[in-house]
Amino acid sequence: MNELLTRRHVVAGLGVLSLGLLAGCDMGSGLSYKYAKDLSNEIMGRKFKLRDAEGNEMMLGSFRGMMPMIFFGFTQCPAVCPTALARAAQAKKLMGPDGDRLQVVFITLDPERDKPAMLDAYVKAFDPTFIALSGTLEETAATAKEFKVFYEKIPTGDSYTISHTGTSFVFDSRGVLRMGLSPSLSAKQCTEDLLTVMSVC
């Protein structure tokens, strides 16, 4: 059985209103998601500036034309981060050819330990198209605040771990925030709502 989901399957269930939006991007919030939280009325992620593994400055506009999925975490995260990245890689595959427009962006909350080369290798172990971004401690804090992401260091012996928000933030191809994906969702559930966003932009 073919597990790939397509925009045609998603659009078939959107109704007449959404079908009318296919001619161009709908900048409003009139999308209905089966599983994701609608964040269309939230303003997040418009001002951050961080760097990729090569030191290039990246911002939301750097991903225009793609559908960015932004997730915060750290390479020594024991469960939430690798699970989210593995889910994103699976969803990208389930999207079929449409998955080429999904750009997964991993932002480290631990720039002290997560150096650029380490970050790049970490995310690319899940999918070679994934991108990792980092900044100074101040830039990291400002970016997390901009996304309303909670995080804090938790001492563990002579080291520490980080407790943090596990939401994946999804923007459309014009850089408009659309939805938040809970860590409890499956790859297939995420795929359905990702294709809903893609069906209108």
Is 12 a member of any domain?
A: no
Is 131 a member of any domain?
A: yes
Is 17 a member of any domain?
A: no
Is 50 a member of any domain?
A: yes
Domain that holds residue 154: 37-200
Is 22 a member of any domain?
A: no
Is 121 a member of any domain?
A: yes
Amino acid at 102: L
CATH number at residue 176: 3.40.30.10
Is 189 a member of any domain?
A: yes
Rounded to two decimals, the pTM is 0.87
Question: Which pLDDT tens digit goes with each residue over 86-139?
Answer: 999 999 999 999 999 999 999 999 999 999 999 999 999 999 999 999 999 999
User: Total structural domains in the chain?
Assistant: 1
Average of per-residue pLDDT values in the chain? 89
Is 18 a member of any domain?
A: no
- Which tops the pLDDT comparison, 18 or 63? 63
**Structure-token pair, residue 32:** 């209905």
Give the bridge partners for 133, in sequence order: 107
Nearest 5°: CA angle at 148, between 146 and 150?
125
